[in-house]
Structure 1
Amino acid sequence: MVDTGKALRSLWEDRCTLIAREAVTDPDTHLTGYCEAVRFKNEPCRLSFGTLPTAAGEPLAAVGQTVKVFLDPALEIPPGSKLTITHKGRTEEYTQSGKAAVYSAHQEIPVELFGGWA
Structure 2
Amino acid sequence: MAPLRFERGTTRFLPGPKTLALYLREHGFRGRAPAIDFKNRDLILVAVGPRSASGYDLRVVGVSEQRRGVVITLTERTPSLRERIRPGLTFPFRLITIPKTGKPLLLRVQGRP
TM-score calculated relative to the size of structure 2 = 0.30
Structure of higher CA gyration radius? 1
Q: Which has the higher contact order (CA 8 A, sep 6+)?
A: 2
TM-score calculated relative to the size of structure 1 = 0.29
